[in-house]
Structure formats: C-alpha cells, structure tokens
C-alpha cells in the first residue's frame, strides 16, 4: 500500500466510498434471525431448514442485534467441547488427536450432551453495524482477516437488513473501477504500475517461500480440515495430493454438504465430519499465477463469487493465496488521519 498519497486524494476517495448505498447491497437478501435466547441447536435447525451458513443474533433485552453466528462457530465449539470435555480454549495442534476425539464422542454422558445442546448462541457471536456506518469504516472492518461478513441493521439497531460481505464490497469496487478518484492510480504508481492492469499478484500475495503454506492432504477427513481451518483462523484451505498438486478447496461453506441436523446427537454431528474431504470437493479451484493482474483476479473473484484465488506455480502447486481481504486492503488509507473528510 502506498503511503505517499496526498491527503486530499484520500479525502476524495473517502467521499466516494461513503456514498456507497449499503442498504441497496443487502436489501434483496432472504435473511434469517437467531434470538439471543436460542441455543446452538436452535441455530443449527435454522441453518439446516433455510440452507444458510450464518445469521445475526437479536437480543430483545437491549432491543438490538448483538452479532453474527455461523456454521464454523458451531463446528468449532463441538470439537473444542468434545476435545476438552467442557473447556472453552481454542484447540491447539497437539490436541488434534482424532482417535482421542472419537473416544470422547463415545464416552459423552447425557449431562454432557445436554450441555452441548443447551449452549447459548451468545457465546459464539461477532459484531454488527448500522446501515449509516460510513463506507470507509466498512471497508476497513472487512479488511480484517477474521471478518468476512457483517450484519447490517437499521439506524436504530432494532431491524436487521442483511449481511454485507467482502464479496459485496469487491463487486462494488469492480463496478466502479473506471470511475473512482485518483487513489487507485496513486496506489498503482507507487507499485511501479501505470494502470489497474499493471498491478500484479506477486506485489501482494503471500508466497509459501516466506511463510509455510498451510494445506490439507487429499486423504484427510473433513473434521481434520475443519479443525485446521479453525486452528489457523482462516475460512478455507487448499487440498493437495501426495505430490503437492492442487486438487480443490475446503471452506466453511462445505459444512452444508455434511447435512447436520438438529435432531442429531452431538456425537452424531461430529461423526458425520469423519468423511474424506474428497466427499465435499466440487469442480476445479480458481487459480492464478504470480503474474496475473489484480484486475484479472478481482474480475474472476466477482464473476465466480469466491473469496479467494490460489496462486500456483508452473506445476500447479499452491504457493500463496490472494483473498478479498488482500484486495480490499489496497484501498484503505494507511493512517487514521487519512480518513478525515
């Protein structure tokens, strides 16, 4: 990201972003709401009945929305509970013993099953923002690697309007790529590029040479993949064969394919996750080389409605990833002062 962009240009860019009509982006969604008094089983029932992965949590005591809960939250909780018999800390690598986890599943008593099923959704939620929140603030929030979507409420906070995702903002950015102020041009110039097509993936991708590339072997089970996703606090991981060639992507959205039901006992839910990851792989993963342009990558993301593109070498082995978080981060002012309008 360039840090030598004049303040006036950031202000111009900020004014355009703040004109973003957030309500228009979310108003056509078929949204479902979870009550703060609901349990995780209630939430699971809603997800299964309406084929959704997440929902906002409404608290009647404060007459407002207090956050977001998703399927990965539920799966992670089940694994943590069964792995530590009631502990709440995040599972560490040395705890990912599947044989021990299976043993714990078999040894759960009725009280422990009831404790799992009665867990309130309020223990697993995130954050929400008002529809009047400035667009600049929303962009900044969605460049947090741990925040992929945000519940949007009415100005008073008592009406849920929809969920704003990184992909929603990326589509807006892609649609306005020719009409935005000079900030993108300054950004590209600072990276030795003259146009949007000049910014290449290698300028911002995180190659495996610098940081170990986390992958899921194709012989792994879904529960292993989901635990690894939770451990590394990411939303997806590449699946590779024994030679390291890219075979697919496993993400939180694949949990839907496991067909978890509210009537399932906790151990039955987890048992469904012991299927091989190949059971959930569909189609070919979206890839790019390190020399593809940002415009190409952003266009592919929005056209295919994906949140990431794997960067591969000449042998189709994953060496990095470009996420929507990476893309959006290019357009965030480098200092808080840059947001002044």
The pLDDT tens digits of the residues spanning 315-326 come to 999 888 888 888
User: For residues 331 and 13, is the Cβ–Cβ distance under 8 A?
Assistant: yes
Q: Which fold has domain 7-330?
A: CBS-domain (3.10.580)
Q: Residue 86: what pLDDT? A: 37
Residue 165 has pLDDT above 90, yes or no: no
Please say if the pLDDT value at position 39 is more than 80.
yes
- Which band of pLDDT confidence, cut at 50, 70 and 90, is reported for residue 249? very high
Residue 215, judged by CB atoms within 10 A of its CB (0-12, 13-18, 19+), counts as: buried
The predicted model gives 112-131 an average pLDDT of 71
Using an 8 Å Cβ cutoff, are 263 and 231 in contact?
A: no
pLDDT digits (tens, 9 = 90+) for 288-314: 888 887 778 888 888 998 888 898 888
Six token digits for residue 209: 């040479």
The string of DSSP codes covering 163-210 is: EEEHHHHHHHHHHTTTTS-SHHHHHHHHTT-SSGGG-BGGGT---TTT
More confident residue, 261 or 130: 261
**Cβ–Cβ under 8 Å, residues 153 and 130:** yes
Residue 81 pLDDT = 65
288 forms beta bridges with: 311
Cβ atoms of 57 and 66 within 8 Å: the answer is yes
pLDDT at 95: 42
d(CA 339, CA 284): 40
Q: What is the mean pLDDT of residues 49-69?
A: 79
User: According to the model, what pLDDT value does residue 210 have?
Assistant: 46
Average pLDDT for residues 260-282, to the nearest whole number? 84
Residue 167: both structure tokens together: 């992909």
Is the pLDDT at 147 greater than 70? The verdict is yes
Q: What is the mean pLDDT of residues 239-262?
A: 89
Q: Quick check: 266 and 108 in contact, CB under 8 A?
A: yes
| Confidence grade of residue 211 (pLDDT, cut at 50, 70, 90) | low
Cβ-defined contacts of 107-110 (< 8 Å, 24+):
108/82, 108/266, 108/267
Please give the share of the chain, as a percent, with pLDDT higher than 70. Answer: 72
Q: Is the pLDDT of residue 167 over 80?
A: yes
Residue 242's pLDDT is: 92
Res. 111: pLDDT tops 50: yes
Domain residue spans in the chain? 7-330
């Amino acid at each position: 990201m360039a840090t030598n962009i004049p303040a006036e240009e950031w202000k111009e860019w900020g004014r355009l972003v703040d004109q973003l009509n957030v309500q228009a982006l979310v108003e056509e969604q078929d949204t479902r709401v979870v009550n703060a008094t609901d349990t995780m089983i209630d939430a699971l029932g809603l997800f299964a009945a309406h084929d959704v992965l997440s929902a906002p949590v409404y608290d009647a005591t404060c007459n407002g929305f207090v956050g977001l809960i998703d399927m990965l939250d539920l799966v992670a909780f089940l694994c943590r509970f069964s792995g530590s018999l009631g502990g709440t800390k995040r599972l560490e690598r040395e705890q990912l013993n599947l044989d021990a986890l299976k043993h714990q599943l078999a040894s759960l008593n009725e009280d422990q099953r009831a404790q799992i099923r009665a867990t309130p959704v309020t223990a697993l939620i995130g954050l929400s923002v008002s529809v009047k929140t400035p667009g600049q603030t929303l962009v900044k929030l969605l460049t947090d690697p741990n925040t992929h979507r945000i519940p949007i409420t009415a100005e008073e906070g008592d009406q849920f309007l929809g969920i704003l995702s990184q992909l929603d903002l990326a589509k807006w950015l892609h649609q306005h790529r020719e009409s935005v102020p000079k900030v993108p041009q300054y950004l590209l110039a600072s990276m030795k590029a003259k146009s949007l097509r000049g910014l290449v993936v290698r300028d911002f991708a995180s190659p495996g040479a610098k940081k170990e590339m986390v992958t899921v072997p194709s012989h792994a089970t879904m529960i292993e993949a989901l635990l690894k996703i939770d451990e590394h606090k990411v939303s997806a991981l590449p699946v590779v064969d024994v030679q390291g060639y890219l075979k697919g992507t496993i993400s939180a959205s694949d949990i839907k394919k496991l067909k978890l039901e509210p009537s399932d006992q906790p151990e039955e839910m987890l048992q469904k996750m012991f299927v091989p990851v190949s059971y959930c792989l569909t189609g070919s993963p979206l890839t790019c080389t390190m020399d593809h342009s940002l415009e190409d990558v952003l266009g592919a993301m929005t056209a295919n409605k994906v949140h990431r593109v794997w960067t591969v070498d000449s042998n189709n082995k994953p060496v990095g990833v470009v996420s929507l978080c990476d893309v959006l981060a290019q357009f965030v002012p480098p200092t808080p002062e840059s947001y002044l309008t």
